[in-house]
C-alpha cells in the first residue's frame, strides 16, 4: 500500500505541472503504478534543448550537464500527460487530500486542459529546464521567457516570473517531501526581467518543521551580477494516507 502510494505521489508530481516528477519506468510497471504512469507521454521530454533556445540558454544547459557527470546534479526531465480518463482519476485522488470542497471540473472541460507552462508554442512562452542537487537540496531552473509573456513593453509580466518561481520552489519541495501544496509565496521584484532574456532561478530548501517546508530562491542574470527577484515560500506536505 505504501509503495503504491509512493509511486502515485511520484507520478502526481509531474501532473502538478512540475518537471522531473515522473520518469519512464525502467521495466513494466505493476497494475497500480501503470494506471498513473500511462498518463504521461514518455516520447517527448520537453526539457531538452530546442532551436528556440538562445545561446545563453544552451551555454548554461551545457555547464549544468557537465555538473551532472559526477552525479552531484541531476537534470529533471519533464513528460507531459494526455489520457483524460486517468487524469480524472488523479483529480479525485488529489481532491481528497486538498483543503477544498469545491466542485470538480467536468470531463468535457478537462478534455481541453493543458499544463499552464506547457501551453505555448516552442520559444514563445516558458522555456526552461531544471537541475537538482540532492545533497544541497537545491533546484536550479534555467528560464528563457518568450515574447508571449510580456507585461510592460519589453519586459516579462510579473505573473510569468511568479509562475516560474512557484514552479522552481515547488520542485524543491516536491523533491524533498513528495505531494505538496504552495501555502505562501512572497516575492520581492527588484528589477524587471527583459523579454526573451535568460535568467537563473536558484532555490534552496532552508528548513522543514513537521509538514511545513520553507524554501527560498533568487532570480539572477546569466552572469549572476543582476538580481531580478528574491522570494521565500512555504509549502505544506499533503497527507498521503488521507482517503487512501
Nearest-angstrom CA–CA distance, 106 and 19: 26
In the complex, minimum distance from the CB of residue 227 to a copy of itself, in angstroms, rounded to a whole number:
11
**Residue 213 binds a copy of itself, judged by CB under 8 A:** no
Residue 244 touching a copy of itself (CB under 8 A): no
User: How many positions of this chain bind a copy of itself (CB under 8 A)?
Assistant: 70
d(CA 73, CA 66): 9
- Binding piece for a copy of itself, criterion CB under 8 A, among 64-72, 132-140, 149-157, 201-209: 149-157
Count of CB atoms situated within 10 Å of the CB of 24? 12
For 225, the grid coordinates are 551580477
- Per CB under 8 A, contacts with a copy of itself among 77-136 are 87-88, 90-91, 94-95, 98-105, 109-110, 112-117, 119-120, 124-125
Q: What are phi and psi of 59, to 5 degrees?
A: -65, -45
Contact criterion met (CB below 8 Å) for 98 and 16: no
Establish if 147 lies at the interface with a copy of itself (CB under 8 A). Answer: yes
- Give the nearest distance from C-beta 98 to a copy of itself in angstroms: 6
Binding pattern for the stretch 22-61 against a copy of itself, x by CB under 8 A and - elsewhere: ----------------------------------------
Q: Are 202 and 172 in contact (CB under 8 A)?
A: no
Contact characters 184-203, a copy of itself, x per CB under 8 A: xxxxxxxxxxxxxx------
Q: How far apart are the C-alpha atoms of 70 and 155, rounded to whole Å?
A: 37
**147: phi then psi, degrees, rounded to nearest 5:** -70, -10
Tell me whether residue 166 is one of the annotated catalytic residues.
Answer: yes
Q: State the first-to-last Cα distance of the chain, in angstroms, to the nearest integer.
A: 9
Q: Report which secondary-structure segment, H or E, holds 12.
A: helix 2-15
CA-based nearest residue to 228, from 140, 138, 165, 148: 165
Q: Which is nearer to a copy of itself, 25 or 123 (CB)?
A: 123
Q: 70, 134, 166, 223: which is the annotated catalytic residue?
A: 166
Binding stretches for a copy of itself (CB under 8 A): 12, 15-17, 87-88, 90-91, 94-95, 98-105, 109-110, 112-117, 119-120, 124-125, 146-160, 162-164, 166-167, 170, 181-197, 221, 226
For the annotated catalytic residues, the residue numbers are 166
Amino acid at each position: 500500500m505504501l509503495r503504491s502510494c509512493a509511486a502515485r505521489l511520484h507520478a502526481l508530481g509531474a501532473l502538478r505541472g512540475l518537471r522531473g516528477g515522473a520518469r519512464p519506468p525502467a521495466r513494466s510497471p505493476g497494475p497500480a503504478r501503470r494506471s498513473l504512469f500511462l498518463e504521461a507521454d514518455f516520447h517527448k521530454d520537453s526539457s531538452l534543448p530546442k532551436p528556440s533556445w538562445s545561446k545563453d540558454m544552451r551555454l548554461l544547459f551545457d555547464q549544468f550537464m557537465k555538473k551532472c557527470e559526477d552525479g552531484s546534479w541531476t537534470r529533471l526531465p519533464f513528460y507531459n500527460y494526455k489520457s483524460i480518463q486517468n487524469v480524472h482519476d488523479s483529480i479525485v485522488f488529489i481532491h481528497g487530500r486538498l483543503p477544498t470542497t469545491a466542485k470538480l471540473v467536468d470531463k468535457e472541460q478537462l478534455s481541453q486542459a493543458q499544463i499552464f507552462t506547457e501551453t505555448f508554442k516552442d520559444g514563445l512562452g516558458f522555456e526552461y529546464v531544471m537541475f537538482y542537487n540532492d545533497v544541497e537540496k537545491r533546484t536550479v531552473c534555467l528560464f528563457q521567457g518568450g515574447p508571449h509573456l510580456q507585461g510592460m513593453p519589453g519586459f516579462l509580466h510579473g505573473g510569468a516570473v511568479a509562475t516560474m518561481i512557484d514552479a522552481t520552489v515547488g520542485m524543491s519541495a516536491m523533491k524533498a517531501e513528495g505531494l505538496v501544496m504552495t501555502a505562501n509565496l512572497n516575492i520581492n521584484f527588484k528589477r524587471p526581467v527583459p523579454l526573451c532574456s535568460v535568467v537563473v532561478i536558484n532555490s534552496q530548501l532552508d528548513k522543514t518543521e513537521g509538514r511545513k517546508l520553507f524554501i527560498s530562491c533568487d532570480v539572477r542574470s546569466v552572469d549572476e551580477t543582476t538580481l531580478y527577484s528574491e522570494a521565500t515560500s512555504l509549502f505544506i506536505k499533503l497527507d498521503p494516507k488521507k482517503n487512501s
